[in-house]
Chains A and B, each alone.
Chain A
Amino acid sequence: SQKIEQNSEALNIQEGKTATLTCNYTNYSPAYLQWYRQDPGRGPVFLLLIRENEKEKRKERLKVTFDTTLKQSLFHITASQPADSATYLCALAYNQAGTALIFGKGTTLSVSS
């Protein structure tokens, strides 16, 4: 069965540094991969989507890479701020039409000032 691993349960960094979160998957090649942010007591909120034929996607201070050879996605937050502290979830869709997203357990990021 499909498996998604987000390597770190928790990541602590200082304000201004770049946070890098990792998502690894096994078995199948996903059609695309998404990243979500979840704050305590709230539902996940969509951040970025990257397709299998894309290497990199950017949105403001966020950057996502997708390496289908390594079966890995990296999620970067540059110039991190305390407001970036949250849990970040990686999710995969295994085909374009009909398969629901499967989520990793998430990495909790804490940015200290």
Chain B
Amino acid sequence: DAGVIQSPRHEVTEMGQEVTLRCKPISGHNSLFWYRQTMMRGLELLIYFNNNVPIDDSGMPEDRFSAKMPNASFSTLKIQPSEPRDSAVYFCASTPGLAGGELFFGEGSRLTVL
């Protein structure tokens, strides 16, 4: 089985541009998570979905960030407009049951905002 698939793996953009990160969870997994990882703050939860419904978005830093899950096999994380402080590795993860179980992570999308 394919694991969690994220795209793009690397993104370099200029401040003010819109960035869209994509995630395909493992088939059959009911919960999907977006995390952000930086050296300073470690791995931070941004938002998670259960059965395509956002359950907790308290980690979304500000209105510039938005996430959607239109169906069970696809999710996007959008940053508009992007800022240099958004530079980080963004991970998507999924789990077959409810939140709190073993997470299966993608390889991440490394975002650099110049």
Contact = CB atoms under 8 A, between A and B. Distances in A.
Contact of A43 (B98, B100, B105): B105
Given A43-B108, A44-B105, A100 B100 contact: yes
Interface stretch (B14-22, B41-49, B67-75, B76-84): B41-49
A97 B100 CA distance: 7
Interface in B68-114: 91, 93, 98-108
Given A43-B91, A103-B42, A98 B105 contact: no
A93 B104 contact: no
A104 B56 CA distance: 19
Q: Could you say which interface size class chain B belongs to?
A: 20 to 34
Majority DSSP secondary structure for residues of A touching B: loop
A96 B101 CA distance: 8
Interface string A60-89: 000000000000000000000000000001
B55 interface: yes
A59 interface: no
Contacts, number: 68
Majority DSSP secondary structure for residues of B touching A: strand
A98 B98 contact: yes
B100 A98 contact: yes
B45 A102 contact: yes
B100 A96 contact: yes
A99 to B, nearest CB: 6
Most chain B beta-carbon contacts within 10 A, residue among A31, A46, A100: A100
Closest 6 CB pairs between A and B? Answer: A43-B105, A93-B100, A105-B42, A103-B43, A100-B99, A97-B98
15 contacts: A31-B100, A43-B93, A43-B107, A44-B43, A46-B102, A46-B104, A91-B103, A93-B101, A97-B98, A99-B100, A101-B99, A103-B35, A103-B43, A106-B42, A106-B43
